[in-house]
Structure 1
Amino acid sequence: MLPILFLFLLFSSTPFLSNAADFCVGDLTLPEGPAGYPCKKPAAVTVNDFVFTGFEKAGNTSNIIKAAVSPAFTTQFPAVNGLGISIARLDLAINAGDCNAVAIVSFSSPSPGLQITTIALFGSKNFPSSIIEKTTFLDDAQVKKLKGVLGGTG
């Protein structure tokens, strides 16, 4: 009798799925916390919160690295708030073929960082050329040339 009473009390006091949300559109007017933005009130959510048009046009690839990123992170697309994911369009204007390459990339983070290795190595201030030479197998003249193009010193 006691085990049955215990199970009855256990299951009747446990609010199963009470904290589960079908969606959590981020309220960008409030400060971001460790778990993302607070959710908008369901009455304030519209269809447009779930529409993202940032991938329609190619990004501007007329820069030094010939690439552009069009992010759909929480700040650009609040509907992914709370999902722990984000997505981006990557446009590449490489010298191969007669058209630009496009990639859709996904991240397992709502606000991932982006690090461009070439700029991090050759565009940094006071990063020793000797270390770059050893890790990239480039000679000193090439390292200095790339640092000159990307604004690095050291």
Structure 2
Amino acid sequence: MANQFVLVWSLLLTALTVCCLTSASDPSPLQDFCVADSNSQGFLAVKMNGFACKNPTTVRANDFSFSGLHIPGNTANAVGSAVTSATVTQIPGLNTLGISMVRVDYAPWGINPPHTHPRGTEILTVIKGTLEVGFVTSNPDNRLISKILRKGDVFVFPIGLIHFQRNVGHGNAVAIAALSSQNPGVITVANSVFGSKPDISADILAKAFQLDESIVRKLQWTF
């Protein structure tokens, strides 16, 4: 009797574990595709977790394609880089498929500043030039893991971790990155901290970054 009780209890725990693991992962699509309907109320202003599906009988090849990643981005800006996205916003057919990609252009010594993708892991391939790349592990270690990449090299940035790229070559650089989300999002650290609307109180940031409040206010004005 005791052995039967242990067996039943073990099976129950196993079932609960499987249920928990299943509910913690993204569900598989229940149909071939769910092209985002640009005429639906929530499109481009995410009011639900994903977008409503377009009538499959009206779906066309253009819903699954995008032209533009061959065009260099304009790097004439403060950071010297430009990102051209191919997410669900540009390709409605990506809806529910959990993948997207970007092209990143870098001027000489341009950077893609420290940022995170809250909903996607990134895998980056250098197409042209030489990049210094890296990410920082979470607290309490905050360990920097970085590497110099050249044409054809690949690097992975785990989901949610702060990461960056810098062009350390003599000419322009180009990278293509894929992300494990149709809409991975991006949080640029400096913009978010010093450019929030409304501003985070200067005394909070001064204490957090161990800076004088006048410097914080100058940074807030800049961003």
Query: TM (normalized to structure 1)?
Result: 0.65
For 2:72, the equivalent position in structure 1 comes to 58
Q: Which has more helix, going by share of residues?
A: 1
Distance 2:108 2:189 in 1: 17
| Letter paired with 1:131 | A
Superposition pairs of residues 29-40 of structure 1, within 5 angstroms? 29-32=39-42, 34-40=48-54
| Letter paired with 2:75 | T
For 1:46, the equivalent position in structure 2 comes to 60
TM-superposed CA distance for 1:30, in Å, is: 0.6
Superposition pairs of residues 1-150 of structure 1, within 5 angstroms? 20-32=30-42, 34-95=48-109, 96-123=168-195, 125=199, 126-127=201-202, 128-133=205-210, 144=215, 148=218
Indicate the structure (1 or 2) with the bigger Cα radius of gyration: 1
Q: 1:63 to 1:104 in 2, by over 3 A?
A: same
- Cα offsets for 1:29-80 (capped at 9, x unmatched): 1133534222222221112222211312121111112121211121211110
Q: 1:147 to 1:62 in 2, by over 3 A?
A: farther
Q: 1:123 to 1:41 in 2, by over 3 A?
A: closer
Distance 2:62 2:104 in 1: 24
Distance 1:37 1:149 in 2: 37
Mind listing any 5+ residue stretches in structure 1 that lack a counterpart? 1-18, 134-138
- Cα offsets for 1:103-128 (capped at 9, x unmatched): 22233332222122233345454443
Whether the 8 Å CA contact 2:108–2:170 is kept in 1: the answer is no
Higher RCO (C-alpha under 8 Å, 6+ residues apart)? 2
Mind listing any 5+ residue stretches in structure 2 that lack a counterpart? 1-28, 110-167
For 2:144, the equivalent position in structure 1 comes to none
Q: 1:151 to 1:42 in 2, by over 3 A?
A: same
Give the CA RMSD over aligned residues.
3.0
| Letter paired with 1:151 | W
Distance 2:220 2:177 in 1: 26
How many correspondences in the alignment? Answer: 128
